[in-house]
Structure 1
Amino acid sequence: MSKTVRWGILGASNFAKRQMAPAIHLANGGELTAVATSDPAKAADFVAMAPGLRIHDSYEALLADPDIDAVYIPLPNHLHVEWTKKAAEAGKHVLCEKPIALNAAEIDDLIALRDSTGVLIAEAFMILHHPQWTKAQALFRQGAIGKIARVGATFSYNNPDPNNIRNRKNIGGGGLRDIGVYIFGATRFVTGEEPDRILSTRIDWDGDVDTTAHLTAQFPSFHYTGLVSMRMAPYQEIVFHGDAAVMTLTAPFNAGVYGEARIALSGPEQTTQVWRFTADNHYVRQVAAFNATVQGGADYACPLEFSRGTQAMMDMVFDAVR
């Protein structure tokens, strides 16, 4: 493989255009080499960003390109496993949007494929690459909040568009699959714990799509409350509440877009320490970390085993609903 990781993107989605293509272009250790789309007009913005970009008219053609080392997959959720497998079988490393699968058993298949092919397969859970989250995990492990009792996580936005892929059940839509991964995965990352059981669920439906989900769960050391919604005003926050302090992240999932990434640690006598993270782009850091792992560097921060744990919690929620 070349010293530089040469990337291809399967599809010309708006998210790929706005976030991940620029991140691939800017991250150390890689370059954006090709995009696959059957619509040349959709490729124009990608070409403007990376002159000399190759445009393939099919996903299969891009996977057959010997000059591509890694692919990014921003396709609708129900296509993630299929095209991750095809890319890995073609010898390409894969960074696939979340959720990488629709149930934990599918991730077991991907782990087996990763191990048999030797390629890196990972879910694009970008927040784990942001220093806000590594600092939050470090504070927790240092005992900064004392003995944990409660975690509360909220992530909402308002998107009633019936044509949006998030509002189409048949392609893996729904609020839990879209943003539940954040409130579940972030909690698991900081605490290092897995849920024992789902205590309660209340789901609002629009047809067959879950639009708002309230749930509670019991972890070994704490009680968990979560809310995700695609029909409420934009809001995001996660709180880790211990017997010594409260740790609050005020823009935990869309740092720099929703607001400034910040950690506030409120301790005894109303004293508060604040850490601010103003300049870090978690998409760029994610791609740089992926490149470094492909090139023989450190272990990747979000392996498939971690993603499987988040999906297992998602499965537990859907089982509780049923």
Structure 2
Amino acid sequence: MTHLRWGILGASNFAAEQMAPAIHAAKGADLVALGTSDPQKAARFTAFAPGLTLHDTYDAVLADPDVDAIYIPLPNHLHVEWSLKALEAGKHVLCEKPMTMRADEFDQLIAARDKSGKLAAEAFMIVHHPQFLRAKELVSSGSIGTLRHVDAVFSYCNTDTGNIRNQAQAGGGGLPDIGVYTFGSTRFVTGQEPDAVPFARIDFENDVDVFVQMAAGFPDFSYAAVISMRMFNRQEVVFHGDRGVLRMTCPFNAAVYDQAELSLETAGQTRRVERFPGVNHYVLQVEAFTEAARTGGKYACPLEFSKGTQRMIDMTFAAAKKGA
């Protein structure tokens, strides 16, 4: 069975620490090329992938005939441009989130994907983690009864003005960076889309959102979320039904923030805990993408799904602006 050969555009810290090792470790995938003009940054990659071909431009990676798929960890404002270029070059594309800065920008990516016949997706790794597959199963099977409300929180503290997450021109902000998780996780588990965002409060610093409190209405349940880049580390998603509560205490950075764990509370004060140690959702993501790219099979996070999450982010910004 032919392996999918991967190239990476840029030598970001996240690529060096998480995704490049994941590609290198994934079954059916080979990390073969990297685009960077910085030898010191390249050394972090060649340390575990000594046969890596180094290119000093991104275009050279796209032109490399030995590369089948491209991983894009560039700053947010460059995602659409380089995703389109990679598809035009005949490569499969896995791009970091947010893949776009507005929901309507997904339309050109979907058109380019369909025209090329290649797989293109946003790197939304959590849908490949068994804890989310299990959460989806528990909620859909009625383990908590009828779902009434979902709470989601994701926060960390980043005050470094040199970090691209704090730079408006690079597409920074809490909603683009981590709102995709609080919103996308709920959409994935429930299979529902928000029909309204009646309330949103957003605090900005230098045109970048650093604190978000919002409420949304879904067809069958209510929703509330807090997203912040200026608060102490916290992440949690709670699915609250009429016969139970499902709590995810490390939903987004499994094995980094804490151990992935589900807690199911039901009648009679019964509490069951399920843990998922030793699972690397980045490796699972690469393996799922590789398999779908090679076989043309279904992928858990198609562009249409990611467009729905971006639409919810757009709705939140609009609600905050309307209420200002």
Partner of 1:155: 154
Any residues of structure 2 matched to 1:158-197 within 5 Å, and which? 158-197=157-196
SS in structure 1 opposite 2:47?
A: helix
- Paired residue type of 1:146: G
TM-score by length of 2: 0.98
Counterpart CA distance in 1 for 2:233 and 2:165 is 16
Aligned twin of 1:26: 25
Whole-angstrom distance in 2 between the partners of 1:96 and 1:297: 18
Aligned counterpart, 1:271? 270
Counterpart residue number, 2:219: 220
Query: Cα deviations across residues 220-249 of structure 1 (Å, max 9, x unaligned)?
Result: 111100000000000000000000000000
Q: How many angstroms does 1:3 deviate by? A: 0.6
Aligned partners of 1:314 and 1:259: how far apart in 2?
26
Q: Matched residues in 2 for 1:311 and 1:108: separation?
A: 12
Cross-structure match for 1:138:
137
Query: For residues 220 and 203 of structure 1, what CA distance do their matches in structure 2 show?
Result: 24
The offset of 1:208, in angstroms, is: 1.0
**Secondary structure of the structure 2 residue equivalent to 1:128:** helix
- 1:84: which partner in 2? 83
Counterparts of residues 1-322 of structure 1 (less than 5 Å): 3-296=2-295, 298-322=297-321
Residue 51 of structure 1: how far off its partner (Å)? 1.1
Paired residues, what number? 321
1:55 counterpart SS class: strand
Amino acid of the structure 2 residue aligned with 1:240: F
**AA at the equivalent of 1:311:** Q
SS, match of residue 246 in structure 2: strand
Quote the Cα distance in structure 2 between the aligned partners of 1:201 and 1:321: 5
**CA-CA distance at 1:283 after TM superposition:** 0.1
Any unmatched runs of 5+ in structure 1? Answer: none
The Cα offsets for residues 106-156 of structure 1, whole Å up to 9 and x where unpaired, read as 111111111111010000000000000000000111111111111000000
Letter in 2 for 1:27: A
Shift of 1:297: 5.8
- In the alignment, structure 2 segments of 5+ residues that lack a partner are none
- The residue type equivalent to 1:122 in the other structure is A
Q: Partner amino acid for 2:126?
A: I
Query: 4+ residue runs of structure 1 moved beyond 2 angstroms?
Result: none
- The residue identity in structure 1 corresponding to 2:211 is T
**Post-superposition offset of 1:207:** 2.1
SS of equivalent residue, structure 2 residue 295 = coil
Deviations 1:36-92 (A, max 9, x none): 001112101111111111000000011000000001000000000000000000000
Hey, what's the Cα distance between the residues in 2 that align with 1:207 and 1:48? 38
Residues in 1 aligned to 2:27 and 2:292: alpha-carbon distance in whole angstroms: 12
CA distance in 1, matches of 2:167, 2:102: 18
AA of the residue aligned to 1:13: S
Q: CA–CA distance in 2 between the matches of 1:149 and 1:294?
A: 37
Residues in 2 aligned to 1:297 and 1:132: alpha-carbon distance in whole angstroms? 25
- CA deviation profile, 1:155-204 (whole Å, cap 9, x unmatched): 00000001100000111000011000000000000111111111111111
Q: What is the Cα-based RMSD across aligned positions, in Å?
A: 0.8
- Partner SS, residue 295 of structure 1: helix
Whether the aligned pair in 1 keeps the contact of 2:200 and 2:317 (CA below 8 Å) is: no
